[in-house]
Structure 1
Amino acid sequence: MKYGIKAFCWLLFFFLSIYLGMSTISLRLIAQNALDQERDQALAAHKSAALLFAAMIEDNEPTTEQWQQLGNTVQHTANNPFEIIDQEGQQLYHSDPLYSGLATHLNQEDLVKNTIQVSEIIELNEQKSLLLQSQIGGSPYIFISTQQLVRYPETLKQGTDFFRILLLVLQLILIPISLFLTNLITKPIRQLIEQATNIANGQTTKPFKVKRRGDEVDDLAISLNQMAKKMNQDLRQIRKEKEKQELFVSSLTHEIATPLTSIIGYAQMLQWEELSDSSTECVDYILSESFRLKQMSEDILRLLHSQKHELQCTAIAASQLETYLAAFIGGLDQAIALDLDLQQATVYMDLNLFKVVAANIVANAVEAMATPKELSITGRIDNDRYFITFKDNGRGIPADQIEKVTDAFFTSDLTRNEGHLGIGLSLVQNIVSLHDGEVTIISKKGAGTSMTIDFALNEVNV
């Protein structure tokens, strides 16, 4: 989950938690106030009825008929159902058959003289009620009355409904507020992420501007700017050093080329003369090494040129590539059994550079193959790219060298006696990268090599 979503959820949860806490407390206070009012009302009614009974009983012990008369008299003034019991719990009178047996809900042993005991809220006849009990004056009789709660449940229901509606309204208000606060919190973080991404993509010259906040985000922004500044300085220094190296190599290569041409020319002139066998052998060696050195110089210049080359891409038909490859490989070595199958498409590429790529890949394949020489070249379309695969039956590449073969100046011949400088596949890598493609090598020692390169399709095919 993204940080912004987490921040939004936490803010909304925080606000709703505060609301739920405050609404619960408020609802409890409102309901308790209603309950206290009804309890006071019940106490007043109970006390009044108990005093009336005490006045009428005096010191007598009423009979059953007298209790009936006394009860009926008090019932006219009392609004709440009640009953009278003696100390043994025997019911002497009840005003309402529906509320008979109220004493079973109370404990008479806990009753204190001259006090009115009020029960917790109980359910009587599916209604919330309070039970009250007290002794009638100094007599051994106990007066029990009930108070049906009306205002308390109504207040509780009305308060609950009100806070539920208020919760829905608050959600409509809190959601945009939480979104606003989330955006306010995450905006500098998103800016930092954007700046870090720019730095990762090499854009180190543009400083990151952030409002002075005096917090950790401000410190992180300053650190990013310092890092970008240092990276920019290092990159400039690296580019300068690289330019110096390329200039040195290019100048050295050009300086070598001029005397090398003279050496080759004079050596060829010596071949026309009548020389002894030992002298002829020396001249031949001079020529072979001179040509090898010339080839190395040309390879270095070609590699340097490819790194700065501006592509001149055009739409090239696959059939045109097929014709070129067949003619090139046929002229290179007629002993190669060529299997050429390119899916028809129009490829967007620099044809001259493709020829350099193909020449280097095929040259490596030819060198790696023994008799019989088998080479297959296939082309296919996949995800708006055109993939060309060169597969030979040569000696293969050791697994530990596959990732290194496209590095400049890498060669499996550590003595370099074969005359290779290790530039060919590096040149292939550079040219394919200029086309936004990749070089994929699959090889196993003794089982041949498969090399795949890819180019963009022309927009007509997309």
Structure 2
Amino acid sequence: MKRYLWLQLLVLYLASAFCMFFLLNTYGLDRYEQKLIEDKKSLLYNEATSISSDYMSSYYDKQLSLPYLSTQIKTIGSILEARIWIVNTKGDIISDTSKNITEGEEVNVLSIDPDFFDETFSDYTELEGVLTEPMVTVVYPVVYKYQTRGYIVIHSSLQEIQRDSVYVIDTINICLLIFLVFLLVIFVGLYYLTLHPLGKINKAAQEYAKGNYSYPLKLKRQDEYATLAASVSYMAGELDKLDDYQKKFVANISHDFRSPLTSIKGYAEALQDGTIPYELKDKYLGIILFETERLNKLTTSLLALNSFENHGTLLDIVSFDINNIIKKTAESFEGTCTQKKITLNLIFSSKETLVNADMGKIQQVLYNLLDNAIKFSHHNSTIKISTVEKGDKVFVSVKDNGIGIPKESIKKIWERFYKTDTSRGKDKKGTGLGLSIAKEIITAHDENINVISTEGVGTEFLFTLARTEGFLI
């Protein structure tokens, strides 16, 4: 079962809300109720002190009558919303703000609770038959002429305090609920800002993994997700190109291997069963050797390209005369040039031109470029090979007056196995790897190679090498 991130966030949100409400309505409510009780006890104690100092001395001096005293404390009790007793030392309640006490109706609190005067503060006071509900109580002894003459007892309803605390907590609950609704809206907004585009990108990645590289992925926004989506789309495009390349690679490899293998197999069987006369065997054995060499050349080229792709080839950089290498490479094409009556014109800006490079690899580049130039040159034409020194660079040019390269094919000639239609029609024995290998070698030297071509006029390949004043190898 999939564990969706949005569901996990929702569960976390609900769990957090539950914990907040639970703590607020248990621990929070209890703490707030205790705070109200402590505040109430402090208030009642201060009022008891005021009553004692303002009225009780006058009462014991006979300056105030009990009815007048009762009237005064009733007023105070009404303001405090509290019940006030005046109690003598025997425990008799001589004044009660909740009712008028007449002679013989006094209630003795000590008969109900002998320890009633022992505690100054009480959070939960119950006196059966006297108090109708639990009270918060303050007992304040009245001292007159260094003797305790009585007590001021003030009660405040515990239920009222509890109702006040519940009201405040309920108000906080409502505010918290409104906040959670607002937070939920924010969460939904965050979902559409984060998880929603992430889901789209994930869906696109799944489609790309299945090979559906045309699956559209566009986010109408300008942020990191849009950048990520663009990167994923770009990756899909590159994978699509790679997939096409692999298909073309297999098709080209199959074609380029099948052709010589078919010739080898056909001629070998013909030689074996006697179809080819004995006196012609050398001719067809020569064809078999030629096709075998083609296969060997193709395999070598593939290995060379693969080594560059995997950075497995180390360059052996030395100082050598590029003019001398050009001469040796040109000599290797003497037979082919003679057959097509092609003239190789070597033009050097100086007698010796020293460069820093891998001599073997550069000779391979020259061989591939010259082979390509001869292949697409007309009979009785000229190919010019030149070197020019400019600053710390040496420019090497191979220019022919052949059939040229179509404009739409210029950017594709560096691709592996690419052959123009003209190339396939004129010469089907090429591997389509020569220019790819040349570019990989020059790039490995951190140099550049370019082509200038006009169809029907000719082609020039130009690459650079690092010039040196060092010693010849």
Shorter-chain TM-score: which interval? 0.3 to 0.5
Please, what TM-score do these two structures have when normalized by structure 1?
0.40
Alignment TM-score, normalising by the size of structure 2: 0.39
